[in-house]
Copies of this chain bind each other. A is one copy, B any other.
Amino acid sequence: MKHGQDRPLRELGENRMVSRFRELTAKGLGRGVLAGPGDDAALVRIPENRLLLFTCDMTVEGVHFRRAWATPRQIGWKAMAANVSDIGAMGGEPGFAVASVAAPGEVTGDFLDEIAEGLMECASRYGASLVGGDLVGSPGPVVVDVALTGWIAEGLALRRSGARAGDAVLVTGALGASAAGLAALRQGLSAEDERVGAALTAHLTPCPRLVEGQAIAAAKRATAMMDLSDGLAEDLPRLCRESNLGARLQTSQIPVHPSCRAVAELLGLDALALAVSGGEDYELLLTCPPDAVKEVREAVAAAGGVSVTVIGEMVSEEGVVTVEDSGLERAMGAGFDHFAVSG
């Protein structure tokens, strides 16, 4: 039953959409939710002896997605995934989320339902619960903003500022699949090619490294961690700045995702440049003493996580990231900047 949700937002009105949002979210409300959507604020029970993590991430049509390329369910998933990734990058456990959506009046109720379903699907996959929201009819692009709380035991949270000179620099998984997916969409590559399909999946429905982040924090050997949301070329310098250090990368050690290599070959692009300057991989970037690398890797493997690769080391020369290869050095200077690309 469609409940007439194929009608546009401007006809459906706020009360109806709020009721619909309550219906949809009701099934996904986790333990501890005493009041979900529909009141002035959600009311939830929180774990004892934990610190609260709190993050938000806004996704804007035309900047982060296009309606022609992503389904509303994918838009919702990715908006939630970016937040889960932030909680994971601190080593925490996701808790409760609220989501605000601005949408033009011609957007249908079904479109909004599917965004909500995508948000909830991702939340539920990572143990979070969508407990509230706001919806605004807007003259502008579709905007989805998610705020997510999380929990972590005192002393476990991994910040960007804790790296020490001599620490190994590591990344989880492999890089560049999301950037390759974006390039494939721009060039209209067919998803029938399995390697292209993998890149599209990575770009449209990324999987944040939550178990990995939690395992790394619990092992208590890492010194700093963050997620790769804007790409290594942008994010590693940030970690360096926060830790008042620099880094030296071994280009040959950077794990490039097979789908990135494949798409780069099809499109005549430089796979390594895509891997370091492309954003939205949502892999983790972390540092730990060289003698802790084995332990960190084993902790992640024991949690069922992806591989972890050493790609370089932290050095005392502040703010300078050096690489072996001059082509890569250029790529490292070309990270994603929201304003430069979209202003």
Contacts and interface: CB of A to CB of B under 8 A. Distances in A.
Contacts of A192: none
A298 to B, nearest CB: 24
A179 B286 CA distance: 52
B341 A39 contact: no
A231 interface: no
A41 B92 contact: yes
Contact of A9 (B12, B150, B343): B343
Contact of A43 (B53, B102, B105): B53
Interface stretch (A133-141, A195-203, A261-269): A133-141
A132 interface: yes
A294 interface: no
Interface string A208-233: 00000000000000000111001000
Interface in A35-65: 35, 38-46, 48, 50-64
A14 B157 CA distance: 25
Contacts of A136: 58-60, 63-64, 338, 342
A90 B54 contact: no
Nearest to A64: B136
B52 A98 contact: no
Given A145-B100, A238-B15, A138 B63 contact: yes
Contacts of A131: 54
* Chain B CB within 10 Å, residue with most, of A44, A61, A102, A226: A102
